[in-house]
A and B are shown apart, each in its own frame.
Chain A
Amino acid sequence: MLEIKNLHATVAGNEILKGLSLTIGQGEVHAIMGPNGSGKSTLSYVLAGKPGYKVTEGSATFLGEDLLAKATAERAAAGIFLAMQYPVEIPGVTTINFLRTAVNAQAKLRGEPEMEAVAFLKRIKEEREKLFMSDEMIKRPVNVGFSGGEKKRNEVLQMAMLRPRLAILDETDSGLDIDALKLVSSGINALRASDRSFLVITHYQRLLDYITPDRVHVLAGGRIVKSGGPELAHELEAHGYDGVVKVA
């Protein structure tokens, strides 16, 4: 589904990714762990197409197409979803209106018909209820006045409505208390499907107690330095990055 080869990327002239390679198969859940500054968030932004993140070498192929040649919105329409570490507040745009626009914009980019208003409202009601979000919450401006937990739930709601093929979760666990973490994780688990893959970026093993990965990778110095099964996360928790990376 996603094949990254020898990816080099710079931010403001500094090389952050230095030859990263990673392959994620259909329906698989991969976790990327790594110390601060190792390039985890940079990887997520490069894949989503954030301006200012420049690929200098290497390739990323998504569902057989050159992902890096696409504009940000086209990547989303192709099935990439980035759940952000710091979801942005957008005063004056309600979540429901934002999602309606996004669903229809993606359909348009894919050459599909727009979703009928009634069908959309029915679906958003179902999805928000799963996340214990009130009708009032989605009628408020996007993320404005939301707590950290509410913002992350809103990310999961967007994911549920947009039904991506690859969801990248950038430190979705950061800033969440244990109850919020459980709620968000169960929302994500409900979206696991044979045709949907996940790339879970996290500092801590904690999130992986709820979302069990198929593969775990250690990112350090802009490259994947070690890969393994779910047990690797426990090893990292026990010995720290230094221990594991040195062993590698």
Chain B
Amino acid sequence: MSSMPRQVQSQRSDFDLGIDKAFAEALRNLPGGSWLQKIRSDALERYARTGLPGRRAEWWKYTDLASILQGGKASAHPSPASRRERAAFASPDLQEISIVEGHVEELPATALQDGVEILALRDALGVPSPWLRPLLQPSDQSVDNLNLALATDGVLIRIGQSIRARKTVCIRTHLSASQAMAHWRSYVSLEEGAELDLIEIDIVGSEQQSLATARTHFSLAPGAKLRHLRITSGQGNGILLRSDTMDLGGDAEYHGQAFCAGPALVRQDREFRLNGERAKAYIACAYAVTTGQLADFSLEVKHVAPQTTSRILAKGIASGSGRGVIQGRVRVDKDAQQSDSLQMARGLMLSSTAEIDHRPELEIYADDVKCGHGATIGALDQDQIFYLESRGIPESEARMMLVRAYFGEIVKRAPDSLVEELENWVATHMTRAGDTP
């Protein structure tokens, strides 16, 4: 690390000192030999060169990570960390995997199905494998580099050619106060024509400020299809930074819904690259935030090949002094003719002290495309509340009904078998923000 610029060295904060310590431990404890240590050291060096992203970086304008983490500008109003999470989506039909504080603790004991492979990263790192290469790529994002340097574990899923995974894979992630930091890195690979239903449930429960980063690379070969539900809940002062990249080959399809409510800060950087002709990405996300919470979905879609399709529907509600961010950046390359993209971000402000930043962006280099975007921000409809009240439904219940209905549009997009459970989850986790203005 001798090449680290002096400027950064002179400003070393408690956060950076913690990073050094964590790095030393990661090097000591992880398998992978020198080939991996080199990758990690290089990643840390790249991280140190830029530091944490902050306001100066346009893509992090609304989530000033640098000042939140370095300056100790933790949430002034930590949300209460008392409620225990009920295990949502508990079903014997799910293939369960759990990651606790960044370590894989539960994995399927036996081979599930021919062509379905699930491994812990820790176990796979013993030998350098070309299969792992996409997972160990350096990045221009400093948080990704931090994650690459420090990742302790992760999940590798590979679905073989033309295989349809019979069981829905459910990855449960638990983060608690016992660790100040957790970093994991996963890889989901669907070979040609493969199909997978994936649920990710992140529970962040930490009273102290803690930092978790999760980096996932998805690779969808031509004709592959991924249905993906991600829900994030929790309480307290935990920070979760998720970064996803997804490569879609020709005719590959992604159908995803993400819901987020609870932790102090959840940022999801998600990049979709539509590399093959007719690849399609249907992306929906929803957040509910109240005082002491920030939810940020920063989405990038790159139409690289012709006739590719993308849809983004994002909806959020903010009450108290909660903050919600939706960034949607869609780029249509010169060769991506006849591509079709539409993005819509809607927000509901339930109080005058809440903040919602929704920013759609379009960059179009092709001349024969269909692209649209929109962003709206409103409030709950007082006439609707009165109508419900006039039938005997108390105001707080009326507000919750309307919030539930608001998210219904996204809930309905989930696979049929999950809709009922998801409705309950939304009612429990996302309507509280609507309870009081």
Contact of A76 among B381, B392, B401 (CB under 8 A): B392
Interface segment, one of A14-22, A101-109, A228-236:
A101-109
- A219 CB to closest chain B CB, in angstroms? 21
Whether A24 sits at the interface, judged by CB under 8 Å, is no
- Are B386 and A93 neighbours in the complex by a CB distance under 8 Å? no
In the complex, which residues 202-239 of chain B have their Cβ closer than 8 Å to any Cβ of chain A? none
CB distance from A49 to the nearest CB of B (A): 7
User: In the assembly, what is the distance between CA of A91 and CA of B380, in Å?
Assistant: 12
Q: Are A92 and B392 in contact (CB under 8 A)?
A: no
- The answer for the CA separation of A3 and B244 in the assembled complex, in Å, is 65
* Contact (A77, B409) CB under 8 Å given A51-B386, A90-B384: no
**Residue from B390, B395, B398 in contact with A48 in the complex, judged by beta carbons closer than 8 Å:** B390
B83 within 8 A of A: no
Q: How far is the CB of B410 from chain A (nearest CB, A)?
A: 11
Q: Count how many chain A residues have C-beta atoms less than 8 Å from C-beta atoms of the other chain.
A: 30
Return the 6 tightest CB-CB contacts between A and B, nearest first: A92-B405, A76-B392, A106-B392, A102-B391, A72-B389, A88-B387
Does A137 count as interface, using CB distance less than 8 angstroms?
Answer: no
A1 within 8 A of B: no
A158: nearest chain-B partner, CB-CB: B391
Q: B residues bordering A, Cβ < 8 Å? A: 381-384, 386-395, 397-398, 401-402, 404-406, 408-409
B-chain residues with CB within 8 Å of residue A51 when the two chains form the complex: 382, 386
Partner among A50, A77, A91, A99 whose Cβ is within 8 Å of the Cβ of B386? A50
Q: Measured between alpha carbons, how far is A109 from B386 in the docked complex, in Å?
A: 17
Residue pair B392, A90 in contact (C-beta under 8 Å): no
Select which of B393, B394, B408 is within 8 A of A92 by beta carbon: B408
Instruction: Decide if A240 is an interface residue (CB 8 Å cutoff).
Output: no
Select B395's contact among A72, A93, A109, beta carbons within 8 Å. Answer: A72
Given the interface contacts A92-B405, A92-B409, does A162 sit within 8 Å of B392 by beta carbon?
yes
Determine the residue in chain B with the shortest Cβ distance to A79: B392
Most chain A C-beta atoms within 10 Å of own C-beta, residue among B382, B393, B406: B393
A-B CB contact pairs (8 Å), 17 listed: A49-B389, A51-B382, A51-B386, A71-B395, A72-B389, A75-B390, A77-B392, A81-B390, A84-B387, A84-B390, A88-B383, A90-B388, A101-B393, A102-B392, A105-B391, A105-B393, A106-B391
Q: How far is the CA of A90 from the CA of B392 in the complex (A)?
A: 16
| A residues apposed to B, CB below 8 Å | 48-51, 71-73, 75-77, 81-82, 84, 87-88, 90-93, 98-99, 101-103, 105-106, 109, 141, 158, 162
Instruction: Report the Cα distance A75→B389, complex, angstroms.
Output: 9
Q: How far is the CA of A87 from the CA of B390 in the complex (A)?
A: 11
A105-B404 contact in complex given A72-B389, A87-B387, C-beta closer than 8 Å: no
Contacts of A73 in B (CB 8 A): 389-390, 392-395, 398
How many residue pairs between the two chains, A and B, have CB atoms under 8 Å in the bound complex?
A: 78
Q: How far is it, in angstroms, between the C-alpha of A123 and the C-alpha of B384 when the chains are bound? A: 25
Bound: A162/B405 CA distance, A: 22
A49 and B394 alpha carbons, distance in the complex (Å): 12
Minimum C-beta distance from A110 to chain B (A): 9
A96 to B405: give the CA distance in the assembly, Å: 14
B386 touching A72 by the CB < 8 A rule?
yes
Once bound together, how far apart are the Cα atoms of A76 and B387, in whole Å? 11
A155 to chain B, nearest CB (A): 10
Which residues of the partner chain B approach A106 to less than 8 Å between Cβ atoms? 391-392
Contact of A109 with B388 at beta-carbon distance under 8 Å, contacts A91-B405, A93-B405 already known: no
Whether the Cβ atoms of B401 and A101 lie closer than 8 Å is yes
Complex-state Cα separation, A101 to B402, whole angstroms:
13
* Nearest CB on A from B376, distance (A): 14
Residue of B nearest to A97 (CB): B401
B390: contacting residue among A72, A91, A109, CB under 8 A? A72
Q: Give the residues in chain A near B382, CB-CB below 8 Å.
A: 51
**Residue of A with least CB distance to B405:** A92
Q: Which of A49, A98, A162 contacts B388 (CB 8 A)?
A: A98
Report which of A49, A71, A76, A92 forms a contact with B391, defined as CB distance below 8 A.
Answer: A76
How far apart sit A81 and B402, CA to CA, in the bound complex (Å)? 21
Q: Within the assembled complex, what's the spacing in Å between the Cα atoms of A50 and B402?
A: 18
Contact A98 B409 (CB under 8 A): no
